[in-house]
Amino acid sequence: MIPKDYSLSRNLTASTVAALCLIIFHGCMATANDVGGIADLTVTRCDNPPTIDGDLKDRCWKKAAQTGPFSNFMPNEALTQKTIAYLTYDDNNLYIAFQCFESKPGGIVATKTQRDSYVWDDDSVEVFLDTNLDRKTYYHFIVNTLNAQYDEFGHKNPRWNGQWRSGVKIHKDYWVAELAIPFKILKTESDTWGVNFTRERRGQPSESSTWSALRNSFHKPEEFKTIDGLDVSFYASLKLGEATIGNLVGTNQAQVQVENKADDRKLILKLTVTEPKGKTTEHTQAVDVPSGAQATLSAGYLLSEPGLHKFVLDIVDVAASRSIYEISLKRRVPQLLGLVLPTSIYYEDDDSIAAEIMVNAADDLRAKLQMEIKVADDKGNTVSQKTLPAPKQKEFLDYDISGLGRGKYLFEVKLIRDGNTAASAEKEFEKIEGFW
């Protein structure tokens, strides 16, 4: 994904000064493109979408926009293998195909099979999409020759997951990767995007190639090339804030702020929750949003067990019968109760334990809980006990142990609901002879 950073020592010769002037000139041209100049590539619409199978026989690829050859990421080195990217789109998706010529297909490196693993360590291709042309934020998609996917928003943030399709096929002297990226998983406010396409070749000789002329890192959106010709007005008509999804045991809320930039419309927020054991529930809310108005879309849902949950949040335009935005996230629901003691050894004259207690309960559940703290000696006899309201998520509690002599003890915390134990946690500690 990121070729090793490097630096070059250069003397300020006349040729270097001239090169710097060209760079400055290029920067000025890039700025001009950003504010309405000529894009580097114009994407055309396809009538019939391609089959995503790693084959370029679909008719739409014959008319698709082409990037032309890539350049070597390393300066002053020629590429041994050619790469071309093709782009087209329809109402729902951006379609991208890579044709990666390969003189030694037997040397293709293909080891990663898991989603969001280090697929860039294999022969792979990458897509970078700055969908707002802000030269800062971007989506990043990678696929290797085993069709293992990686995606992120920005850099080193694989928690973001979009639902997109890819297909890969190795041919006689080249391999093809096709991607179908739904517009609904991308936040966009512009028909002109910053983009880049790159390829990692891990066989010998290994090389990294790029459509945009980048150095030092692929993750430089300020230097991405631009594309236009897209019509994403439907998706740009709703300005989206950040989605928040609660992950506490009990009743939670998923929320997203929106601003309607189109005519009056009815929106439906649909939330799908998949629990660790595979059980799926759906929760919806419909909201009328006037033109130009802001609104909060929300849906409540109940989480009853710890573990990794998957959340898919979908916003649907009712009149258009189309999804306008979709985001897929994973959140780990922690255990209902957590307990940490700073140490397991205390001197005889220590008078308190600073216990860290975590109650990972939503407000509705926490209101029904009582917290019971008990200290027992090594024979199981209760030597102290206290009942308190359940704390809000995390609390440091100084618990009195001044009356305890030397010996081993058990510090136990229970959450009680309707007379029954909802959760418990315990830690052993020991009091020893004083230091002095």
Q: CB–CB of 67/84 below 8 Å?
A: yes
pLDDT value at position 436?
Answer: 61
- Residue range(s) occupied by CATH 2.60.40.2550 in the chain: 237-333
What gap in Å lies between CA 330 and CA 397, rounded to an integer?
Answer: 32
pLDDT band at 75 (very low <50, low <70, confident <90, very high): confident
Length of the chain as a residue count:
436
Return the higher-pLDDT residue of 39 and 4.
39
Fold type of domain 237-333: Immunoglobulin-like (2.60.40)
What is the reported pLDDT for 27? 39
pLDDT (tens digit per residue) in 85-99: 999 999 999 999 999
Q: 353, 356, 341: which is closest to 394 by C-alpha?
A: 356
Superfamily of domain 337-432 in the CATH hierarchy: Macroglobulin (MG2) domain (2.60.40.1930)
Which pLDDT band, with edges at 50, 70 and 90, does 7 fall under? very low
The CA distance from 127 to 151, in Å, is 9
21-39 pLDDT, tens digit per residue, is: 333 334 333 333 454 567 8
Whether domain 14-233 has CATH 2.60.40.1190: yes
For residues 208 and 139, what is the distance between their CA atoms, to the nearest angstrom? 20
Could you give the C-alpha distances from 144 to 100, 112, 117, 164, 204, in angstroms and in order? 12, 8, 11, 14, 17
Q: Where in the chain are all domains bearing CATH 2.60.40.1930?
A: 337-432
Where are the CATH 2.60.40.1190 domain residues in the chain? 14-233
This prediction has a pTM of 0.81
Average pLDDT, stretch 178-183?
A: 98
pLDDT at 390: 93
- What is the arithmetic mean of pLDDT over 246-270? 96
